[in-house]
Amino acid sequence: MTSTTRRQVLSGAAAAGAALLTVSPRAARASAPIATQQNAGFYRFKVGDIEVTILHDGARTFPYSDTFVKNATREQALAAADEAFMPKGMVTVPFNPTLINTGSKLVLIDTGFGPVPNAPVGQLFPNLKAAGVDPKDIDIVILSHLHPDHINGLRTADGSIAFPNAELKAPAKDWAFWMSDENMAKLADNKMMKDYFDNTRKILGGLDARMTKYDWDKEVAPGITSIAAPGHTPGHTAFAVASGNKGFFVQSDVTNIPEFFLRNPDWHVAYDFEPELAAKTRHKFYDMAASEKMLVTGFHFSFPSAGHVEKDGGTRYRLIPIAWSAAL
């Protein structure tokens, strides 16, 4: 092999660029123009008889803020970002709801950001359409917890319910926490928490009668069992999904991005309400997922947002993403 280096590669490019300047504009145009359309963001797989569709709501990339990880230095956090080859000095957080057709019910777990003008998020609805799913066909919407990126897709731009025929389900503990005016008043000095409380009222206001509040360790849809995973929020919930002798976990936000918090499960993401409890939940959940070798879908895993968890030494974990399969 040649000893081509980055510099040689790039000087080769410069030479190529110079060469292009000597040809006519017409000859310098490929037969096909540069495309502008990315593939749709949905991915399907079967688990036993049920069909899972991961739906990409988009991703946000932002300059690293020192408050993102509360108990790691900027250097430590950016080293983790570098190890994941994120853009220099930046962090990318993706958002991916999970749709499950149990055969008897079409169940959407979490709803993304909903309509946000000029934002790289809110793509759940075009991706549902690309996947051939009409929001009217969704039988049950289950919220894992009541943060904006999980609940805001419940409402269309005009404020109506985006899933008109669906039963809506929220964790009882999260509903009680976020809908308490006493809690809201108590935490009003915390800007992030105030925004969260305001948002729950904007999105969930008027839905008390329609919303089914579910407890942990219950079957919240056929074959879908709620699992207590508190810490991120008081009522944050993961799910075990089963079909015959096959199953998988929907982890919701047991971690935010795995590149940071599965590699470093004791790091505290800014959005965790009770960070020590969240870290404890993380260890328990991933110890279980690793020892059971269960497939896990994660709202903040890179699309297609499913993989297996392996232990890496005593207290760290690594996500092994599933291999894309065109076959269903």
Q: Show contacts with a copy of itself in window 195-254 (CB under 8 A).
A: 216-217, 219, 222-223, 225, 227-230, 238, 240-247
Q: How far apart are CA 132 and CA 128, in angstroms?
A: 6
Tokens 């149990």 locate to: 102
Residue 36 binding a copy of itself, by CB under 8 A: yes
Smaller CB separation from a copy of itself, 105 or 213:
105
How many chain residues interact with a copy of itself (CB under 8 A)? Answer: 105
Tokens 């008027």 locate to: 206
Q: How far apart are CA 237 and CA 146, in angstroms?
A: 10
By DSSP bridging, strand 167-171 and strand 140-142 are parallel
Q: How far apart are CA 180 and CA 234, in angstroms?
A: 13
What residues contact 64, with CB distance under 8 A and at least 6 apart?
74, 77, 78, 81, 89, 90, 91
Residue 116 binding a copy of itself, by CB under 8 A: no
Interacting residues with a copy of itself between 255 and 314 (CB under 8 A):
281, 284-285, 288, 292-294, 302-304, 308, 310
The phi and psi torsions of 194 (rounded to 5 degrees) equal: -60, -45
Smaller CB separation from a copy of itself, 10 or 188:
10
Residue 28 binding a copy of itself, by CB under 8 A: yes
Smaller CB separation from a copy of itself, 41 or 203:
41
Smaller CB separation from a copy of itself, 184 or 272:
272
Residue 89 binding a copy of itself, by CB under 8 A: no
Least distance from C-beta 184 to a copy of itself, angstroms?
27
Residue 21 binding a copy of itself, by CB under 8 A: no
Q: How far apart are CA 27 and CA 39, in angstroms?
A: 29
Binding to a copy of itself by CB under 8 A, coded x per residue (else -) over 146-185, reads -------------------x--------------------
Which member of 66, 73, 76, 103 binds a copy of itself (CB under 8 A)? Answer: 103
The radius of gyration of the chain's CA atoms, rounded to the nearest angstrom, is 22
Smaller CB separation from a copy of itself, 52 or 204:
52
Smaller CB separation from a copy of itself, 203 or 263:
263
Return the HEC string of 308-320.
EEEEECCCEEEEE
Which member of 35, 117, 118, 314 binds a copy of itself (CB under 8 A)? Answer: 35
Residue 115 binding a copy of itself, by CB under 8 A: no
Residue 51 binding a copy of itself, by CB under 8 A: yes
Return the HEC string of 44-93.
EEEECCEEEEEECCEEEEEECCCCCECCCCHHHHHHHHHHCCCCCCEEEE
**CB environment 133-159: b (16+ within 10 A), e (fewer):** bebeebbbbbbbbbbbbbbbbbbeeee
Residue 18 binding a copy of itself, by CB under 8 A: no
Distances, alpha carbon 131 to alpha carbons 9, 37, 52, 91, in Å: 40, 16, 11, 28
Least distance from C-beta 37 to a copy of itself, angstroms?
7
Residue 323 binding a copy of itself, by CB under 8 A: yes
Least distance from C-beta 181 to a copy of itself, angstroms?
29
Smaller CB separation from a copy of itself, 187 or 240:
240
Which member of 116, 139, 266, 274 binds a copy of itself (CB under 8 A)? Answer: 139
